[in-house]
Amino acid sequence: MGGEHLSWIEWLGAQSLVALGKGLVLCAEIAAVVLPLMILYEVIEARGILKGSWKGAERWLKPLGLGPRAIIPLMAGVWLGLLYGAGIVVATSEREGLDKRQRLSIALMLAMCHAIVEDTAIFAVLGASVIGILLPRVALAVMVGVMLGWWWARTAPGRGS
């Protein structure tokens, strides 16, 4: 017992300090990505850009079973994720009068494709492939959205089939 080995308590303490340091660095990296995105969203909202006309988005939203009023809750969830974007999604969906089908379509798409800007930026900082993160998530969300939009268009009340 020449003092060459650490006791398990000393070892655990040393490992805890290393983990704490690495955790703080990771928190700083995540904050460096998330905070600017949140500030950008708040600036865009404060300038009234989100209140503009979204008629041009209709051709992209129609195959998904969504109308132009669905763009703000959808983009909030895509940009900000479920946690921060949920309040925007719920409030805007109610204010814009989105029907249950549109709300469900938004929820399903966001389940697969939420926070793609934030998540991709965070994982890119950590060294992940941007294409490897974005492509499967967006492709799956669009495929499910298009299939849902197609199904709802075929089963819409009053279609006469």
Which of helix, strand or coil describes residue 6?
Answer: coil
Burial (Cβ within 10 Å: 0-12, 13-18, ≥19) of residue 68: middle
Q: What's the confidence (pLDDT) of residue 161? A: 41
pLDDT by position in tens, the chain (length 161): 455 678 989 999 999 999 999 999 988 987 887 788 778 877 887 888 767 666 678 888 888 888 888 888 888 888 777 776 677 778 878 888 888 888 888 888 888 888 888 888 888 888 999 999 999 989 998 899 899 888 888 887 755 44
Cα torsion 141, 136, 89, 155 to 10°: value is: 0
d(C-alpha 108, C-alpha 97), whole Å: 18
Q: What's the confidence (pLDDT) of residue 160? A: 42
Could you tell me the residue ranges of all domains in the chain? 30-154
For 144, phi then psi, to 5°, come to: -65, -40
